[in-house]
Amino acid sequence: MKKLALALVCLVSVAFFASCDPEITNPEPSIAVMTGENYIYDGQTIDLGAAYQMGFRAASNSQTLKELASFNLVTKIYDMNDQEYYSEDTTIVISGTEYVYEETIGFRRDIISKVTFTATVADVDGKVKSAVINLLVNQPAQPLEVTGITWVRRGSNSLNAEEMAANGLYWDSRDPYHVNIKPLTNCTLYVDLNNVEAYNAVTTDVEKAAYFAGLEASTPVTEYRNISTSASGEYNDILAVIDAQGAMHLILFEKADVETGTFGTQTTIYGKVK
């Protein structure tokens, strides 16, 4: 009986001491938005064209001390109708008990209304924690700069390929009978034929944003082929391009000169972009 009593006392003691261990009710790691001068914060309104510093600071749980395993950042950009038009999801493999993510951000697409950043850190046990930054985008009504363009295709060669690419376009030479202009990869093209009035009515970036918002309700096109290479002519066609970075290019083709020489057919398009 004495041995049995002693064994029971030992069992009770073990149970008592085990129950005194602190219970970890929140075993996930920690993550917070970095603060300080020039750092963006949740709920802030930012200006287009300006640069801002963004950062997140993550750390292992102070009780579990489990090492960090990954950092994920999801970026979402919304248009003026609050519809998501761009999303990027990036995961970085990390290690250690602390991690800091920083980058400089800025936006030049004057049709966006808000941006969200969702950062999530995970530890080796798969425990996760997230922090979010929601930004509103200020839409100042700045006058648009208008630049003249002269784009030439001589034979099958485009002489202004770099300038066209800067506007999200390239000249496809496989059609010898028409000007065949297409959007680059990840660029979107809308065409508004014979509508110089609409082009002239767009004088500020806010008006351009509104014009593009109207176009985005329609279906984009894969190419522009309205100019014939058989004769010169006048045109008032709008090419509206959203490039891979979300910048908008509003282009007006006003006329095309066609001539023939030892080089074959040369087509010169005159117009402007804003």
The pLDDT tens digits for 214-240 are 887 789 999 999 999 999 999 999 999
Residues 197 and 259 in one domain: yes
Instruction: Indicate whether 2 belongs to any domain.
Output: no
Residues 172 and 260 in one domain: yes
CA distance 211 to 164: 21
Lowest mean pLDDT of 4-13, 124-133, 202-211, 229-238, name the range. 4-13
269 has pLDDT over 50 = yes
Instruction: Indicate whether 7 belongs to any domain.
Output: no
- For position 109, what pLDDT does the model report? 66
Question: 262: closest CA among 177, 151, 154?
Answer: 154
- For position 110, what pLDDT does the model report? 59
| pTM exceeding the 0.75 threshold for the entire prediction | no
208 has pLDDT over 60 = yes
Residues 66 and 169 in one domain: no
- For position 19, what pLDDT does the model report? 45
Residues 83 and 168 in one domain: no
Q: Among 83, 110, 138, give the residue marking a domain's end.
A: 138
Are the beta carbons of 86 and 76 closer than 8 angstroms?
yes
Instruction: Indicate whether 44 belongs to any domain.
Output: yes
Residues 34 and 124 in one domain: yes
152 has pLDDT over 80 = yes
Q: Among 138, 172, 203, give the residue marking a domain's end.
A: 138
Query: Please, which contacts does 268-271 make with residues 24 or more away whose CB atoms are closer than 8 Å?
Result: 268/150, 268/151, 268/152, 269/149, 269/150, 269/151, 269/152, 269/179, 269/227, 270/148, 270/149, 270/150, 271/148, 271/149, 271/151
Are the beta carbons of 75 and 106 closer than 8 angstroms?
no
Residues 113 and 153 in one domain: no
Instruction: Indicate whether 116 belongs to any domain.
Output: yes
Instruction: Indicate whether 110 belongs to any domain.
Output: yes
- Decide which of 77 and 79 is more confident: 77
Could you tell me the pLDDT band of residue 111, with boundaries at 50, 70 and 90?
A: low
Q: Among 119, 138, 157, give the residue marking a domain's end.
A: 138
Lowest mean pLDDT of 6-20, 45-59, 185-199, 259-273, name the range. 6-20
Count of structural domains, the chain: 2
Instruction: Indicate whether 94 belongs to any domain.
Output: yes
Residues 86 and 198 in one domain: no
Residues 132 and 208 in one domain: no
Bridge partners of residue 147, in order along the sequence: 273
- For position 163, what pLDDT does the model report? 96
Residues 85 and 175 in one domain: no
Strand order in the sheet with 112-123: 45-47, 128-138, 112-123, 68-79, 84-93
Query: Alpha carbon of 112 to those of 26, 43, 205, 206, 224: distances in Å?
Result: 37, 16, 11, 10, 26
- For position 73, what pLDDT does the model report? 98
Residues 86 and 191 in one domain: no
Residue 152, φ and ψ in degrees, nearest 5: -125, 135
Mean pLDDT, the chain, rounded, equals 88
- Domain range holding 161? 147-273
Residues 64 and 118 in one domain: yes
Residues 37 and 96 in one domain: yes
Instruction: Indicate whether 49 belongs to any domain.
Output: yes
Residue % of the chain over a pLDDT of 90: 65
Greatest CA separation for the chain: 118
- For position 108, what pLDDT does the model report? 67
Which whole number is the average pLDDT over 188-203?
Answer: 96
